[in-house]
Structure 1
Amino acid sequence: MRIAFICTEKLPSPAIKGGAIQIMIDGIVPFFHDHQLTIFSISDQSLPNTEKQSFIEYIRFPKETYINDVADEIKKQQFHVIHVFNRPSHISLYKESSPNSKFVLSLHNDMFSELKLTREEGLKAIECADAITTVSKYIKQTIVKRFPHASHKVHVIYSGVDLKKYQTVFETQGKIIRKRVRKQYNLQGKQVILFIGRLSKTKGPHLLIKALDHLITKYPDIVLVIVGGKWFSDNTVDDYVQSLFDLSSRFSTRVLFTKYVPTEKIPEHLVMADIFVCSSQWHEPLARVHYEAMAAGVPIITTNRGGNGEVIQHGENGLVINDYDNPKAFADAIDYLFSNPSKKKSFGMLGREYVNKQFQFQHVADRLLNTYLQINE
Structure 2
Amino acid sequence: MNIAMIATEKLPVPAIRGGAIQIYLQSTAEIIAQKHQVTVFSIRDPHLQDDEAAQGVHYIRLDEEHYLSALTEELKKTHYDLIHVCNRPAWVEPLKQVTPDSKFILSVHNEMFAEGKITKEDGETCINDVSGIVTVSDFIGNTITQRFPDAKDKTRTVYSGVDLGAYHPAWTDQGNIIRKRMRERAGLEGKKIALFVGRLSKVKGPHILLQAIPEIIEKHPDAMLVFVGSKWFDDDKVNNYVRHLYTLGAMHLNHVTFIKFIKPQDIPNFYSMSDIFVCCSQWQEPLARVHYEAMAAGLPIITTNRGGNAEVIEEGQNGIVIDRFDDPHEYARIINSLFDDEEKRKQMGGSGRSIAEQKYGWQRVADQLLDAYQTV
CA-to-partner distance for each residue in 1:242-268, whole Å, 9 max, x for gaps?
A: 000111111122110011111101111
1:19 aligns with 2:11: no
> Gapped runs of 5+ residues in structure 2?
none
* TM-score normalised per structure 1: 0.98
Kept in 1: contact 2:7–2:25 (CA 8 A): no
Partner Cα separation in structure 1 for residue 297 and residue 316 of structure 2: 18
311-320 or 136-145, which moves further after superposition?
311-320
1:323 aligns with 2:324: yes
Which SS does the other structure have where 1:251 is aligned? coil
Which SS does the other structure have where 1:285 is aligned? coil
1:255 aligns with 2:227: no
> What residue number does 2:152 align with?
151
Amino acid at match of 1:336: S
Partner Cα separation in structure 2 for residue 341 and residue 184 of structure 1: 23
> What residue number does 1:311 align with?
312
Partner Cα separation in structure 1 for residue 174 and residue 59 of structure 2: 35
Quote how far apart the aligned CAs of 1:53 are: 3.1
Partner Cα separation in structure 2 for residue 172 and residue 90 of structure 1: 47
Kept in 2: contact 1:337–1:344 (CA 8 A): yes
> Gapped runs of 5+ residues in structure 1?
none
The 5 Å alignment of 1:113-262 reads 113-262=114-263
Aligned pairs, how many?
375
Which SS does the other structure have where 1:195 is aligned? strand
Which SS does the other structure have where 1:225 is aligned? strand
Amino acid at match of 1:136: S
Quote how far apart the aligned CAs of 1:55 are: 3.4
Quote how far apart the aligned CAs of 1:54 are: 6.0
> What residue number does 1:356 align with?
357
Which SS does the other structure have where 2:254 is aligned? helix
Quote how far apart the aligned CAs of 1:36 are: 0.6
Partner Cα separation in structure 1 for residue 53 and residue 262 of structure 2: 28
CA-to-partner distance for each residue in 1:11-58, whole Å, 9 max, x for gaps?
A: 011101100011112222221211111110011111111112363211
Q: Aligned-residue CA RMSD in angstroms?
A: 0.9
Give the percent of matched residue pairs that are identical in Structure 1 and Structure 2. Answer: 49
> What residue number does 2:103 align with?
102
Partner Cα separation in structure 2 for residue 327 and residue 189 of structure 1: 25
* TM-score normalised per structure 2: 0.98
CA-to-partner distance for each residue in 1:294-337, whole Å, 9 max, x for gaps?
A: 00001100000000000012212100000000000000110111
1:89 aligns with 2:77: no
Partner Cα separation in structure 2 for residue 139 and residue 183 of structure 1: 41
Which SS does the other structure have where 1:215 is aligned? helix
Amino acid at match of 2:148: F
> What residue number does 2:70 align with?
69
CA-to-partner distance for each residue in 1:212-270, whole Å, 9 max, x for gaps?
A: 11111111111100000010000000000000011111112211001111110111110
Which SS does the other structure have where 1:226 is aligned? strand
Kept in 2: contact 1:35–1:55 (CA 8 A): no
Kept in 1: contact 2:286–2:307 (CA 8 A): yes
1:4 aligns with 2:4: yes
